[in-house]
Amino acid sequence: MRKGRIVRYIRPLLIAVCLVICGANVVLAETSSSSNYQVSETQFGSSSTKENCSGQYCARTSIGDLSVGNSQSGTSTASFGSITPDEPMLEVVVDPGASNLGLLDTEHTASKTMIVRVRNYVSNGYVLQITGDPPKYAGHTLAAPSSPTVSSPGTEQFAINAAKNTSPNIGATPVQVPSSDFSFGTVEDNYKISNQFQYVSEDVVARSLMSSGQTDYTISMIINISSATPAGHYSGDFSAVVIPVY
């Protein structure tokens, strides 16, 4: 696994949000075998490493070289690409998104987005969790709905989703890189509903059920306050935790 950037967001008199990345790796070779034979990192077709030389010139065969990406059927998956190490790989990067925090009031919804990019190799997939306590100040913690709820200015709320929303106008559906033929990350049901948000620390927000190319998840946070919410500088630390599955 390669750690992504640690990004810290601070807005005066409002919310400091810190994102960290963590995960786990287990060494697992990718092989095919029978009682008598075993092959690793198998290639079918002409070898791209074979050269034919005459005098000062050489030609390298390219017909039948490896293609890049994954393929799947109802019961199995296959990975294709250049010769790679036989160790698992989990890559997680967090990019800053758009902020609309400003000064909180009871008539507007404050929001923040960030993009969590995940890809993995030689595993049965991964789970993505968001962990951490809702923002708090002087012993008061913002209320967080534990089931999907619409954003309601004037009602105290801290919640997230990973969907494209119109109220407020933030977020995006997952982006599969390079395409859905090669990348298979999906958002969990409670976090993929447009315009509905919830937050439970350590909830699984997204996952892939197989080795996958890159999936870019846009995590959107909303913050609403009520007339009874104490004034102050609210802060919270949150972690995007991605764990491979074997």
- Could you tell me if residue 69 is inside a domain? no
- Could you tell me if residue 48 is inside a domain? no
Tens-level pLDDT at each residue, the chain (246 residues): 444 332 232 222 233 443 332 333 333 334 444 554 444 433 333 344 445 565 555 554 444 444 455 556 555 555 555 545 567 788 898 888 788 777 888 999 999 999 999 998 877 899 999 999 999 888 899 999 999 999 999 999 999 999 999 999 999 999 999 999 999 999 999 999 999 999 999 999 999 999 999 999 999 999 999 999 998 888 888 889 999 887
pLDDT at 61: 42
Does residue 198 contact residue 144 with C-beta atoms inside 8 Å? yes
Q: What is the 3-state secondary structure (H, E, C) of the chain?
A: CECCCCEEEECCCCCEEEEEEECCCCCCCCEEECCCCEEECCCCCCCCCCEEEECCEEEECCCCCCCCEEEECCCCEEEECCCCCCCCEEEEEEEEEEEECCCCCCCCCEEEEEEEEEEEECCCCEEEEEECCCCEECCEECCCCCCCECCCCCCCEEEEECCCCCCCCCCCCCEEECCCCCCCCEECHHHCCCCCEECCCCEEEEEECCCEEEEEEEEEEEEECCCCCCCCCCEEEEEEEEEECC
Query: Is the link from the previous residue into 168 a cis peptide, with omega within 30 of 0?
Result: yes
pLDDT at 168: 95
pLDDT at 184: 94
CA separation for the pair 128, 238 (Å, rounded): 13
CA separation for the pair 121, 1 (Å, rounded): 10
Question: 227 is in which domain, residue-wise?
Answer: 7-28+88-244
- Could you tell me if residue 60 is inside a domain? no
Spatial neighbors of 18 by CB under 8 A, at least 6 apart, are 6, 7, 8, 9, 237, 238
Instruction: List Cα–Cα distances, 87 to 41, 68, 208, 217, in angstroms.
Output: 11, 18, 19, 25
- Could you tell me if residue 70 is inside a domain? no
Does residue 56 contact residue 90 with C-beta atoms inside 8 Å? no
pLDDT at 65: 45
- What is the value of pTM for the model shown? 0.68
* Domains: count for the chain: 1
- Could you tell me if residue 62 is inside a domain? no
- Could you tell me if residue 107 is inside a domain? yes
- Could you tell me if residue 82 is inside a domain? no
pLDDT at 100: 79
pLDDT at 202: 93
- Could you tell me if residue 207 is inside a domain? yes
